[in-house]
Amino acid sequence: MPLIRRRLLAAAVLALALVTTGCTGASNNAEDNSTGNSGNSSDVFPVTIDHKFGETIITEKPETIVALSALSADNLISLGVLPDVTMPDTWAGDEDGYNPWTREAIEELGAEIPPTFPFNAAEIDYEEVLSYAPDLIFATEVIYDETVYERLSEIAPTIMAPAVDSGRDGWREQMLDTGAAVGELAAAEEIVATTEAVVADVRDAHPELEGHTFVMSRGLLDGDTSMLVYTSASRLTEYAAQLGLENASIADELAENESGYTGEVSLEELDTVDADLWIGFIYREESLDLTLDNALLGAWEPFATGNYFAITDRQLTQAMSFSTPLSIEWGASQLADAVAEVIENAEG
């Protein structure tokens, strides 16, 4: 078992132990309350979690949890708290809808794989959710709107995604908020510290990544005249930046737009975008050729110098998109190794 996996598993065992031996309290901001209540984990409630549609008050430790987000399920599982049901990943997951890092963590806990819903995030079956009689619902996918929140809140207290400008949408804050919501903040803090140590180890092993500015985008689709760029507020860019790479200035500029997480750059204006590395996600098979054969992209510095990494691996793409402690442990070294090879080949 990899060292980091042992560390995270130990943190999950700590989470289970804290149910009877005590944990740390939380309210509006998990970090602001990290030195709060001690004693049984039920003593920390009520807990209040802020999100993009307001706040959710959890009055007692939840026993039945529905995770309408595989990302939230990841965070719960790393705490040793298995949701009673979750959403399948039908794009990158296995036949049961699970990614490898999630399945491995569940198996290492000696637990059974939780069932998954027979629907996706775009078509929630509220009656199916209600049938589980949940005490708490995690619905942290950014596509869920206020109507979804209102419907789910009629069933049980519901935690939505944080507001873009809240400063609480990074993986650390989401881990802490998840821990606070289920009365396991101390264990969540341990997991954050462990994951930061893993990231530091990968970063130290790849000093060649330091100082390289990157643009991260979706690969081109047929008819595209602009490039969909992930901003510095995105989980995807956060995943890469923590390894020593630096977001190009365009990523910061686009983070100020309305959506926060993505923006567009005209292909004809790429010569104004200062970056020496491109990392792109190939979501469709035809996108790879459309991207690599585009003349405007070919003239842009990252492509002209060979400093580009087109990610075709669905699981690595999802690991970066999830950006949870479990997916960081699974994919950080893979990404760092691949980008380091690109840089070495371009410089050679």
189 in Cβ contact with 34 (< 8 Å): yes
Q: Which residues pair with 246 in a beta bridge?
A: 213
Report, as an integer, the average pLDDT of 231-250.
95
Kindly tell me if the per-residue pLDDT of 231 is higher than 70: yes
DSSP annotation of 294: -
Structure tokens at 2: 């990899």
Q: Long-range contacts: 310-315, Cβ < 8 Å, 24+?
A: 310/219, 310/280, 310/282, 311/279, 311/280, 311/281, 311/282, 312/282, 312/288, 314/91, 314/92, 315/92, 315/99, 315/100
Predicted local distance difference test score (pLDDT) of residue 30 = 44
Report, as an integer, the average pLDDT of 236-243.
96
- Containing 246, the helix (H) or strand (E) segment is strand 246-247
Top-ranked range on mean pLDDT: pick from 1-5, 159-163, 205-209: 205-209
Say whether 116 sits in a helix, a strand or coil: strand
Predicted local distance difference test score (pLDDT) of residue 14 = 54
Kindly tell me if the per-residue pLDDT of 12 is higher than 80: no
Predicted local distance difference test score (pLDDT) of residue 347 = 86
**pTM of the entire predicted model:** 0.88
Kindly tell me if the per-residue pLDDT of 33 is higher than 70: no
Residues with Cβ < 8 Å from 184, sequence gap 6 or more? Answer: 15, 18, 19, 23, 41, 79, 81
Report, as an integer, the average pLDDT of 280-284.
97
Domains in the chain, CATH or no CATH each: 3-200 (3.40.50.1980), 206-347 (3.40.50.1980)
Amino acid identity for residue 107 in this structure: E
Kindly tell me if the per-residue pLDDT of 218 is higher than 50: yes
Round to whole Å and give the CA distance between 219 and 227.
Answer: 8
Number of residues written out for the chain: 348
The model's confidence at residue 138, banded by pLDDT at 50, 70 and 90, is very high
